[in-house]
């Protein structure tokens, strides 16, 4: 139910705009109040009067309407809601959002808001599949925007394929999921994930076998409990989850910068498989064979330890710092020592010997090491490990 929730509904200009009138009705039936914003293009499809009548609220239309500014500025309008919903979200609105434009009321409130944003894209199938739209979609996902639909089907323009706006009840379900009060609501958690790539020269790098699956699952599980998640990821082979803010990095040093820039946070989970060393010498040119049979000798320098840096911060240390320990022998003894050495609160230890199939696989068998000792968890899916860890983090931050 949505009792007491306030939704700012931005209606874009598309044939699906008529469905947004039904969406207003459905949201209000569940107890939400809905404040409509109409773009000029939307007014070609639905009238401000019908939106206002169904919402029983004033409809906002232009940025420069001085009466509105006197009553409520665009900043306040964007913050006054619990959630911003854009339905239908046209290709143009997606492009504006992805590009950070703020040249009308809708784009300005979307830029100014500190609340989550859910979009229901609706457009012609070719426009949806256009590389520009797909690029914008990826950018918006990375910014933590939630996406409902689009669905596949017959389109008003006579074509068939993905591009139809999600049905009002599907959008309502997405709104309910976005507004669910989880135990981590209001908490910010930073998660590092994936491998790092350390360049040898402009075309070669050193990497490791981490897929990023465990880190992505943890970020997803934390977001599902209502946390705001900043997901700092190296070049992983699994995609980042929806609904988290993604920061993509390559090297350990970039990961350290991104993780510390994301603070303050209530908790930080360091699931990344960070390269311990990088190539000492910066080589701007590709290393060439000179025909003499001589092979290059690479010298390494040690990378900063991101987990230890954050765990030992004198000021602004997250309340709970969780590290991982990838071990191939003496798992508990090594991980217990690692917890102390790095100064973190918990270590999630796992055996990554090739025989376990854990690195790059879908399952994990972990032992949680804290000041209270070692707690062995049965072998389970990485999603289940993530859900259990997220529950424990929620308990610890209560």
Q: Can you give the binding site for ligand CTP, defined by CB under 6 A?
A: 192, 252, 270, 272, 274, 276, 303, 305-307, 323-326
User: One of 53, 56, 157, 177 is an active-site residue; which one?
Assistant: 157
Smallest separation (angstroms) from ligand CTP to the CB of 212:
12
φ and ψ of 177, to 5 deg: -65, -40
| Contacts with 259 (C-beta within 8 Å, 6 or more apart), sequence order | 190, 192, 232, 268, 270, 306, 310
Q: Residue with the closest Cβ to ligand CTP?
A: 306
Distance CA 364, CA 362 (A): 7
In the complex, minimum distance from the CB of residue 247 to ligand CTP, in angstroms, rounded to a whole number: 15
Residue nearer to ligand CTP on the CB measure, 87 or 255:
255
Q: Is 175 left (phi over 0), alpha (psi -120 to 50) or beta?
A: alpha
Give the residue with the Cβ less far from ligand CTP, 295 or 371. 371
Helix ranges (H only) for the chain are 17-29, 48-55, 66-71, 74-79, 91-99, 105-112, 125-129, 131-142, 168-179, 213-224, 252-261, 306-311, 331-342, 382-397
- The sign of the dihedral angle between the CA atoms of 309, 310, 315, 319 is negative
Taking the least distance from each CB to ligand CTP, the nearer of 267 and 325 is 325
45, 49, 52, 56 alpha-carbon torsion, rounded to 10°: -140
Residue 289 C-beta: closest distance to ligand CTP, Å? 32
- Of the pair 117, 326, the CB lying nearest ligand CTP is at 326
Q: Is 157 a catalytic residue?
A: yes
At its nearest, how many Å lie between ligand CTP and the CB of residue 163?
Answer: 41
Tell me the C-alpha distance between 374 and 327, whole Å: 15
Nearer to ligand CTP, 133 or 364 (CB): 364
Least distance in angstroms from the C-beta of 262 to ligand CTP: 14
Residues carrying an active site annotation: 157
């Amino acid at each position: 139910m949505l009792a007491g929730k306030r939704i700012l509904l931005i209606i874009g200009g598309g044939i699906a705009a008529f469905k947004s009138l039904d969406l207003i009705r459905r949201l209000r039936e569940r107890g939400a109040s809905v404040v409509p914003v109409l773009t000029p293009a939307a007014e070609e499809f639905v009238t401000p009067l019908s939106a206002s009548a169904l919402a029983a609220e004033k409809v906002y239309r232009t940025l420069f309407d001085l009466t509105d500014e006197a009553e409520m500025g665009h900043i306040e309008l964007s913050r006054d809601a619990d959630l911003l919903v854009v339905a239908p979200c046209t290709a143009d609105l997606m492009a504006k959002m992805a590009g950070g434009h703020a040249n009308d009321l809708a784009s300005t409130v979307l830029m100014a808001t500190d609340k989550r944003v859910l979009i229901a894209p609706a457009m012609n199938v070719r426009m949806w599949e256009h590389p520009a739209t797909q690029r914008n979609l990826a950018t918006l996902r990375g910014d933590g925007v939630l996406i409902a639909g689009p669905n596949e089907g017959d389109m008003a323009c006579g074509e068939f394929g993905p591009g139809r706006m999600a049905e009002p009840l599907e959008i309502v379900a997405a709104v309910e999921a976005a507004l669910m009060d989880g135990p981590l609501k209001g908490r910010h958690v930073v998660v590092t994930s994936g491998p790092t790539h350390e360049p040898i020269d402009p075309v070669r790098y050193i990497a490791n076998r981490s897929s990023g699956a465990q880190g992505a699952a943890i970020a997803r599980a934390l977001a599902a409990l209502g946390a705001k998640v900043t997901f700092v990821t190296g070049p992983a082979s699994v995609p980042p989850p929806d609904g988290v803010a993604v920061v993509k990095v390559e090297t350990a040093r970039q990961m350290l910068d991104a993780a510390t820039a994301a603070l303050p946070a209530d908790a930080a989970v360091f699931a990344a498989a960070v390269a311990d060393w990088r190539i000492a010498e910066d080589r701007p040119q590709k290393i060439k064979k000179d025909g003499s049979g001589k092979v290059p000798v690479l010298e390494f320098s040690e990378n900063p330890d991101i987990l230890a840096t954050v765990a030992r911060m004198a000021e602004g240390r997250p309340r709970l710092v969780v590290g991982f320990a990838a071990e191939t022998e003496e798992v508990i003894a090594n991980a217990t020592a690692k917890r102390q050495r790095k100064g973190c609160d918990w270590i999630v230890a796992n055996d990554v010997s090739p025989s376990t199939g854990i690195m790059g696989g879908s399952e994990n068998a972990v032992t949680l090491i804290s000041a209270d000792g070692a707690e062995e968890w049965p072998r389970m899916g990485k999603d289940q490990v993530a859900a259990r860890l997220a529950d424990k983090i929620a308990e610890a931050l209560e």
